[in-house]
Amino acid sequence: MSLAITLFVLTYILLLVFPKMRAYIALGSATVFIITGILPFNKLFQVVDWNVLMMIAGTMGVVYLFIESQMPSLLADVIIRKLPNVKWVIIVLSLFAGIISAFVDNVATVLMVAPVAINICKKLNISPVKSIISIAIASNLQGAATLVGDTTSILLGGYANLNFLDFFVYRGKMGMFFVVQIAALIATLVLLWIFRNDKDTVQIETTTIVNDYFPTYLLVGIVLGLIIASFIPNTPAAINGIICMVGLFLGVARELLKKNTKLVVGVFKEIDYFTLLLLAGLFVVIAGISEAGVVEWLGKEFINLSGDNLFVVYTLIVWASVVFSAFIDNIPYIATMLPVVSSMSTILGIDPIILYFGLLTGATLGGNLTPIGASANITGIGILRKEGYEIKAWEFMRISIPFTLSAVLAGYILIWVIWC
């Protein structure tokens, strides 16, 4: 156990210090866990969650086709045309980004919606900073709403064996989707107050033209496929990943038949292999510390700290996750904490869902606190930097802190009331 803990701590330190090397660090650590015998070699392929990896890869590829079709830009144009001023442009764009992000990766969502906000701000000769920050944090918030909304949700779904509809209604009770929507509504009221003085009028003279609707149908088809699969008993463990990969295959095959090789190359470039390798390595590392008994030990220590009180355990998980996710990537954090939370639930003798949902709320929404807490935030800041705007941490946090704390508090209370 001592060797496993040492390797694990060293791995996390390296992940924090060398963010551009995370995938290689995780794979290297996984190799050490195998070589030292902490995790038997014959369990290597069993511990990697192929369902999660296929879901992420398939969704990323299809989202690229969706973006290239210009459909998100068209939808944004239609919405904005009906708005009276900048305040409502910011609010509606953030809500629009949130809706998309519930079904599409939040980084891809920011990449879709941000250009629209920048174009509007250029026409009005105003800074796009507020708009982009709002779009980024709203996208990250809604990532917890559905099974396919964010990598963290996909990880939870794979680990806890939750299907698409479980995020809407689970065992007859309100699921994460509705919890997130209520939290988003409260957080949006906070945004309305922050932007109460932005009353410049806005007009859009042109409308985006979409010539290819197939990627839209394909993305909707994947979502419907995930829903249908949730009703079918005894499906393969990797059914969600298979559905997403089939969608990707259909999209690529169609482009190849059209001899659109440039777009096909773009699809495979868009898939984030770095994240896939990072997760594959982390699956092995986490399985290694579980094999060594570290996860069970952590669960017991956490229970001892809370005095076997479920409310204290739940509160610690939510708010500790907010703090940690504000500074470290929530993907490795969630991947590490899921088995710990499961072990804690077993020790307490409770249904783990309240702790799972609490973990997802704190880790996913908590990433909004700082500019480096979520990939969507980093993406938004990168877009602004390309436009010539260097964003200071406080400038970002002036919007993100009240938005995040109001959303997390709402989710924290709702989950406890619903699932206690």
| 87-101, 107-121, 191-205, 249-263: least confident range | 107-121
| 28-32, 92-96, 107-111: least confident range | 107-111
The pLDDT of 50-74, averaged and rounded, is 82
Cβ neighbourhood burial of 304 (10 Å; 0-12, 13-18, 19+): exposed
The pLDDT of 41-58, averaged and rounded, is 84
The pLDDT of 136-160, averaged and rounded, is 86
Q: How confident is the model at residue 327 (pLDDT cuts 50, 70, 90)?
A: low
pLDDT for res 328: 64
| 115-119, 134-138, 174-178, 342-346: least confident range | 115-119
388: left (phi over 0), alpha (psi -120 to 50) or beta: left
pLDDT, averaged across the chain: 84
pLDDT for res 411: 94
pLDDT for res 168: 93
pTM beyond 0.85, yes or no:
no
Q: What percentage of the chain reaches a pLDDT higher than 90?
A: 25
- The pLDDT of residue 420 is above 70: yes
Model confidence pLDDT, tens digit, residues 216-238: 899 888 878 877 886 777 778 78
Work out the number of other CB atoms within 10 angstroms of the CB of residue 86.
21
pLDDT for res 355: 94
Strand partners, 173: 170
Structure tokens at 107: 């980084």
The larger pLDDT score, comparing residue 304 to residue 188, is at 188
Q: How confident is the model at residue 150 (pLDDT cuts 50, 70, 90)?
A: confident
Residues with Cβ < 8 Å from 307, sequence gap 6 or more?
Answer: none
pLDDT for res 180: 94
